[in-house]
Chain A
Amino acid sequence: MVKYNQEKCLYCGGCVSVCPVMALELMETYIKYDAKKCINCNSCVKICPVGAFMVEGR
């Protein structure tokens, strides 16, 4: 599972652009993450310029 840290997020939408299953949406100043849709591909973790998405447990 991926974990989103809103306090780190600069709301740039980068993660939304690579999420293959539309599990993410930029709500102006934070990311809405739908764990039910997420397929744990970790694309959001890689693209995030500041590391606001992390692989849980790592």
Chain B
Amino acid sequence: MENYDVIIVGCGPAGLRAAKVLAENKINVLALDKKQEIGVPVRCGEGLGLGWFKRLNLKPNSAWAVQPIKGAALYSPTGKKVEIRFEEVSGYILERRMFEKYLAREAALKGACIKVKHHVLDVKRKGSKVEVFGKYLGDEFKYSANIIIAADGVDSLTARRLGLNTTNKLVDIDSGFQYEMAGIDFEDPDLIHLYFGNEVAPRGYVWLFPKGDHEANVGVGIAGYREETAKYYLDKFISSRESLAKGSIIHINSGAVPVGGFLDNMVLDNLLVCGDAAHQVDPTHGGGIGLSMEAATIAAEVAVEAIKKVDYSQKFLSRYNKLWYEKRGNALKQRLKARIFMEQLTDDEFDAIADNLSGEDILKLAGGELSEKAKFMARLLIKKPSIAGKIAKSLR
């Protein structure tokens, strides 16, 4: 049986980034994916902020970063628009199938071995190693490794098979549905457009992420426990807007987004979990590309250390928990509180916020200017006292 230092299950952004980091460090790494093509099918809105390009050392390439974005337009339930516009490009809409292929090429170039159509059906500990069983085009395969990185996305079973429960609770997950539409009309293709309201998207929002002047990803995310489906909300949104309803749907995709059930522990003996499999998604907007790649980098670096020290114990690997929580985890828990506050707002309160908030305010708030926060809250509370209780509740 072929043995590897590390086997990665799942070749999305997380798995491919881990593969590259490991290969760069001369680690013998195998990355398996059940899909027949890297990057397909897409289950994503494909937005990525510029900060992530810098943090992940990625250079935007027009082959996969197809639409530069300079800000966002937010729409309240009654349609009031708040615009946040930067002078410079602040992010990109990706073509993810091309992006993931690019990540795969980079990893392969460094020496990682990637195999598609390899479905991992079971993982079992044997002695100090883990054995990986699966099927490739109907034939069984079996490999062993010292460390498994579970980067198998939202439908991850690898960690669960090794004894770490990564199941999502319904309250902690959003249901998402998206059309890529062509032949539609909208304003400002250099902005992303986000539509809020309990009728539009309970707990979430509808997004329109432009890909050119007449094409966009139009999608919705809603709380996972709702009776109506995400598709129901998106169809309702589109059919009420002639500028969208007249277009063609050239791609449909769906998915679930873990928006808050962070795992306190993401390691066991021989196991590291990262990306959607470890619920590493921003709870306020559901973005996970950047976070999953950052976490995968940390997980891979810890794996490199573990291999050097020949120590694959949970105790050693738990360094990954510590490093991730220091870098992101605690900040994300704060953002979870912000989301919990947002989801309690009535449409009226939402509108009151939009009425009292300019794009500039949002930038200052996001930048953490405390005096601005205080001023804004004061303004808001005078107009909508009901919000005060909700703020207090969400801070608990």
Residues of A within 8 A of B (CB): 10-20, 22, 25-28, 43, 46-51
* B167-200 CB contacts (< 8 Å) to partner A: 167-170, 173, 175-177
Contact A49 B168 (CB under 8 A): no
A residues in contact with B230, CB < 8 Å: 49-50
In the complex, the chain A residue whose C-beta lies closest to that of B257 is A14
B residues in contact with A51, CB < 8 Å: 229, 231
Main secondary structure of the interface of A (DSSP, over half): loop
Contact B170 A10 (CB under 8 A): no
In the complex, the chain B residue whose C-beta lies closest to that of A10 is B254
Out of B173, B252, B253, name the residue touching A17 (CB < 8 Å): B173
Q: Does B214 sit within 8 A of A, measured CB to CB?
A: no
Size bin of chain B's contact surface: 20 to 34
Q: B222 → chain A, closest Cβ, in Å? A: 9
Known interface pairs A18-B167, A49-B176, A50-B231. Does A10 touch B157 (Cβ–Cβ under 8 Å)? Answer: no
Q: Does B35 sit within 8 A of A, measured CB to CB?
A: yes
Contact A18 B43 (CB under 8 A): no
Known pairs A17-B156, A47-B256 / 13 extra A-B pairs, C-beta < 8 Å: A10-B252, A12-B255, A13-B154, A14-B173, A14-B175, A18-B224, A22-B160, A26-B155, A28-B119, A46-B226, A49-B256, A50-B230, A51-B229
Out of A10, A28, A43, name the residue touching B253 (CB < 8 Å): A10
Q: List 25 A-B contacts (CB under 8 A).
A: A11-B41, A12-B41, A12-B155, A13-B155, A14-B254, A14-B256, A17-B156, A17-B167, A17-B168, A17-B258, A18-B170, A20-B167, A25-B155, A28-B34, A28-B36, A46-B175, A46-B227, A47-B256, A48-B175, A49-B175, A49-B176, A49-B177, A49-B229, A49-B231, A50-B254
A residues in contact with B175, CB < 8 Å: 14, 46-49
Known interface pairs A11-B41, A17-B156. Does A49 touch B170 (Cβ–Cβ under 8 Å)? Answer: no
Known interface pairs A46-B170, A47-B256, A50-B254. Does A17 touch B155 (Cβ–Cβ under 8 Å)? Answer: yes
